[in-house]
Amino acid sequence: MRPGRRALLALLGLCLVALAVPWLPWLTGVLGGGLLVLFGTMATEASLLGRLQVTLTRRRRAVLSLDEEEELPFTLWSNSTRPLSVVVRQPWPPLLTTGSFRGQGRLLPGSALTFTPRVHPVARGRAALSPPWVALSWWGFAERLRAVGEPGELTVLPNLKAVARLRQRLDAFVLRGQGARVAPRRGKGREFDRLRELVQDDDYRDVAWKASARHGKLIVKEYRLERAQDLLLCVDRGHRMAARTTRISRLDHALDAALQVAYLSHRQEDRIGALCFAADVEQGVPQGKGTAQLRRLTELFAGAQPELLHTDYRRLAVHVRRRLRSRALVLIFTTLPERETGDELVAAVRSLLPTHLPLVIVLSDPGLRAAAEVLPADEDELARVLVARDLWEGQQEIAQRLRRLGAWVIQAPPEDAGVEAVNAYLEIKRRQRL
């Protein structure tokens, strides 16, 4: 229990009366009576408020998308027969930007009072959501402070709302009228389609000799282009990916982009796998298809955290060569290293070619390029510009070396990495580079 606003105002007035007592002694009785009435009213209100029952209704487990504004509403109920003044304070865990929510309102008898705080998640993970603190008052002379409701749980996942927006765009522009499945295309692929009799212009290398012996005539094997192809999403979680851009880190942007590519490849019926790497390479999620595979990928990305360790690209290449026996599209979400350590990335990509097709999605730093192009005004600024220009030119040199090897390299700001990765994936599928 604590004094209300009216009690504080009344106490301030009685203090002024006390200051006038030396000159007006008859105010002593007024002061004593006023204090008696004030404390009696406060005690009575506090006693009545202590008998009230207040309940709270909200989601026990709240699941939010990273870097998206969302609502966490909750509703208060009471058995009071008089209108209640309510002040609410809800503290937030560190996964959210704001420290706490504060709201106030009037709870009428027989009705509910709903608060709708808006939050902005800035980190992935799971945290406990403590019950809100509620201050109740009738006449304003006393407030009853209590925690209402049970603790909840808050889970922040990669940006699933961006995936939902991608789905809407695909349904509206790309996949409209094409059906849910793509018809198989015949041609020089790897998937067996059927056996048929040899006709003119057929390649004798496609003759099925055992079938020809059984039928007494030449029979050839006909293949079709693969509908399901292999993709491996490799997300760098080394020390360079821990830097924050806007409100979230490069790693968070990379995971959101990888999830968007995963959803699109699921719509294209490709086999998807994923892993995270830094100094070591995790096993991640093996190749698979379907909705259950998307769920496993989401769980993997939700638990990925950056490490302040060096990124070992050579170890990644060794792991990929052992893991994937057939040709696959290997997407590497990373940020380019400095010129001195760029040979590791180039050597890793060279070892993947030509068996696999590497697609390197580089989360670039727009601030570095701006710092490299500024016109210096003094010696100190000249030194900063020269360092930034050396870093920027070194990264561009590494990107050119990767392109000359035959890898696809996409450089984009972190917030645009998802769109650029999806566009590159669609372009590779259109050109049938796999």
Q: What is the mean pLDDT of the chain?
A: 83
**Considering only 13-17, 213-217, 226-230, 313-317, which range has the smallest mean pLDDT?**
13-17
Task: Look up residue 410 and give its two tokens.
Answer: 């996409």
Q: DSSP secondary structure string, 149-188?
A: S--EEEEEES-HHHHHHHHHHIIIIISTTS-SSPPPEEEE
**Encoded amino acid at 62, one letter:** A
Q: Averaged over 187-191, what is the pLDDT?
A: 55
Q: Averaged over 247-275, what is the pLDDT?
A: 91
What is the C-alpha separation between 35 and 44, in angstroms, rounded?
14
Angle between helices 5-20 and 27-50 (to 10 degrees): 170
Specify the pairing of strand 408-412 against strand 152-157.
Answer: unpaired
Task: Look up residue 345 and give its two tokens.
Answer: 């990335």
What is the C-alpha separation between 202 and 215, in angstroms, rounded?
18
137: Cα separation from own chain's centroid = 41
Q: Averaged over 346-363, what is the pLDDT?
A: 93
For the entire predicted model, the pTM comes to 0.76
Q: How many CB atoms lie within 10 A of CB 4?
A: 23
Residue 183: the pLDDT is 46
Residue 187: the pLDDT is 46
**Considering only 35-39, 341-345, 366-370, which range has the smallest mean pLDDT?**
35-39
Q: What is the pLDDT of residues 72-107, one digit of tens each?
A: 999 998 888 888 888 899 999 988 877 889 998 888
Task: State yes or no: pLDDT of 185 exceeds 50.
Answer: no
**Encoded amino acid at 75, one letter:** T
Specify the pairing of strand 271-277 against strand 285-288.
Answer: antiparallel
Task: State yes or no: pLDDT of 155 exceeds 70.
Answer: yes
**Considering only 120-134, 175-189, 242-256, 379-393, which range has the smallest mean pLDDT?**
175-189
Question: What 3-state class would DSSP assign to 424?
Answer: helix
Phi, psi dihedrals of residue 356, rounded to the nearest 5°: -120, 165
8 Å CB contact between 313 and 343: no
What is the C-alpha separation between 87 and 223, in angstroms, rounded?
71
If 0-12 CB within 10 Å is exposed, 13-18 middle and 19+ buried, where does residue 300 land? buried
Question: At which residue do the structure tokens 């010696």 appear?
Answer: 379
What is the C-alpha separation between 409 and 403, in angstroms, rounded?
6
Return the closest-CA partner of residue 257 out of 277, 234, 281: 234
Residue 189: the pLDDT is 55
Higher pLDDT, 224 or 199: 199
8 Å CB contact between 34 and 54: no
Task: State yes or no: pLDDT of 39 exceeds 80.
Answer: no
Task: Look up residue 277 and give its two tokens.
Answer: 């790497």
Confidence of residue 173 (pLDDT cuts 50, 70, 90): low
Radius of gyration of the chain from its Cα atoms, rounded to whole angstroms? 33
Q: H/E element holding 381?
A: helix 379-405
% of the chain exceeding 90 in pLDDT? 29
8 Å CB contact between 158 and 256: yes
Query: How would you label 210-234 residue by residue, b for 16+ Cβ within 10 Å and e otherwise?
Result: eebeeeeeebbeebbbbeebbbbbb
Task: State yes or no: pLDDT of 271 exceeds 80.
Answer: yes
What is the C-alpha separation between 354 and 351, in angstroms, rounded?
8
Half-sphere exposure of 131 (CA within 13 A, CB side): 15
Q: How many CB atoms lie within 10 A of CB 331?
A: 27
8 Å CB contact between 291 and 249: no
Q: DSSP secondary structure string, 329-380?
A: EEEEEE----GGGHHHHHHHHHHHTTTSEEEEEEE--HHHHHHHHS---SHH
Half-sphere exposure of 225 (CA within 13 A, CB side): 12
Task: State yes or no: pLDDT of 321 exceeds 50.
Answer: yes
**Encoded amino acid at 173, one letter:** F
Q: How many CB atoms lie within 10 A of CB 373?
A: 11
Task: State yes or no: pLDDT of 338 exceeds 60.
Answer: yes
